[in-house]
Amino acid sequence: MRKISVLALAVLSASLLVGCSRQQPDLVGSQSDGIPHNQVLISHMSFIPRVLTVQAGQTVTWVWDDGATPHNVTFTSSNLALASPTQATGTFRHTFDQSGVYMYRCTIHNNMLGEIIVK
């Protein structure tokens, strides 16, 4: 059941991203269409959106959706020592209580970089 809803979210997010990229790329990651604002999709060897802005106290969920390719979320900023498992499916969550800029990457793929900005 949980797996199905995660998949549904991933599909919804992907279609939202595709729709937005045709018209208004700035809306990616917005709260339109009921898609959670604080979600990062791991797909096509990238974090989508690459930069996500949230409010302090909010939880960010990363959703793996890149077939059998394993990835991880590893923070590189000195202000946060945190890393997800390396996995091909599943989710990872973290609640950001302090404002700041948090850089992260996938340690397997050098080009996979992401950023969480906490207001």
The residues binding Cu ion (CB under 5 A) are 71, 106, 108-109, 112
CB of 57 to Cu ion, least distance (A): 28
Of 71 and 94, CB closest to Cu ion: 71
Of 77 and 107, CB closest to Cu ion: 107
Of 13 and 43, CB closest to Cu ion: 43
CB of 31 to Cu ion, least distance (A): 27
Dihedral of CA 35/62/106/58: which sign? Answer: positive
CB of 72 to Cu ion, least distance (A): 7
List all residues 6 or more positions away from 55 whose beta carbon is below 8 Å from its beta carbon: 118, 119
List all residues 6 or more positions away from 65 whose beta carbon is below 8 Å from its beta carbon: 7, 10, 14, 41, 42, 43
Give CA–CA dist 59/56, Å, rounded: 9
Of 116 and 118, CB closest to Cu ion: 116
Can you read off the two tokens belonging to residue 2? 């949980």
Can you read off the two tokens belonging to residue 104? 């992260």
CB of 86 to Cu ion, least distance (A): 8
